[in-house]
């Protein structure tokens, strides 16, 4: 019986850093538990898009119009959001030009289960780097791939394909904008078969 090669500590640290860098604004560190019935919770490093397909962010992105509250209406599975319903993301302007981030995960009865807050910096058209004080592994990519003309619906992704979301200003989304958002994900190489519709609950 041969022994398995021992992974050097530096390689372990590198792997940990790489694993953590996909924790972008709608990831909830306090929500790591069992998912909802029949929910696909995904894997820590699972990739949901063909990374050979070019990915493009919104060229005419207007950060000030992106501020405010968004409801997560669809997502790709990430373990940290397992069991999350009624998910919201709130973005606000900060004096230094950055954007404040507050994400909230709820239970099926509408109770707040966990929150995480951080900041985002715009680093290019539709491209943000998001940092959370509770995630000490550096900023993560958060790309706005598309919004409709009135900023009522948005598609968010990442070049590594480990996360992706459809956001809407209201908990329910019209079929035409949902279909448009799905087409954007498909165009950017995402596997639509793995996209989950998020359960909506009262957020009052």
Domains in the chain (CATH in brackets) are 25-197 (2.40.128.20)
pTM of the model as a whole = 0.81
Q: What is the pLDDT of residues 83-114, one digit of tens each?
A: 899 999 999 999 999 999 999 999 999 999 99
**Residue 144 C-beta-side C-alpha neighbours within 13 Å:** 28
- Backbone phi, psi, residue 11, to 5°: -70, -35
For the ranges 31-45, 102-116, 126-140, which has the lowest average pLDDT? 31-45
Strands 99-106 and 140-147, how do they pair? unpaired
d(CA 194, CA 163): 11
- Backbone phi, psi, residue 140, to 5°: -115, 150
User: What pLDDT is stored for residue 136 in this prediction?
Assistant: 66
How does the average pLDDT of the chain come out, rounded?
84
Residues contacting residue 7 through CB under 8 Å, at least 6 positions apart = none
In the chain, the N- to C-terminal Cα span, in Å, equals 60
């Amino acid at each position: 019986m041969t022994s398995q090669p021992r992974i050097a500590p530096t390689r372990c640290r590198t792997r940990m850093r790489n694993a953590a860098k996909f924790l972008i604004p709608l990831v909830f560190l306090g929500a790591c538990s069992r998912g909802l019935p029949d929910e696909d919770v995904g894997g820590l490093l699972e990739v949901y898009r063909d990374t050979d397909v070019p990915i493009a962010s919104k060229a005419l992105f207007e950060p000030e119009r992106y501020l405010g509250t968004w409801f997560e209406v669809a997502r790709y599975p990430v373990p940290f959001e397992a069991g999350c319903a009624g998910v919201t993301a709130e973005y606000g302007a900060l004096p230094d030009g950055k954007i404040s981030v507050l994400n909230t995960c709820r239970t099926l009865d509408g109770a707040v289960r966990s929150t995480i807050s951080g900041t985002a910096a715009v680093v290019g058209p539709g491209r943000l780097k998001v940092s959370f004080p509770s995630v000490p592994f550096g900023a993560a990519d958060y790309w706005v791939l598309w919004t409709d003309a009135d900023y009522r619906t948005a598609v968010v992704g990442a070049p590594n394909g480990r996360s992706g979301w459809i956001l809407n200003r209201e908990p329910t989304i019209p079929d035409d904008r949902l279909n448009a958002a799905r087409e954007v994900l498909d165009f950017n190489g995402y596997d639509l078969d793995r996209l989950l519709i998020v359960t909506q609950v009262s957020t009052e």
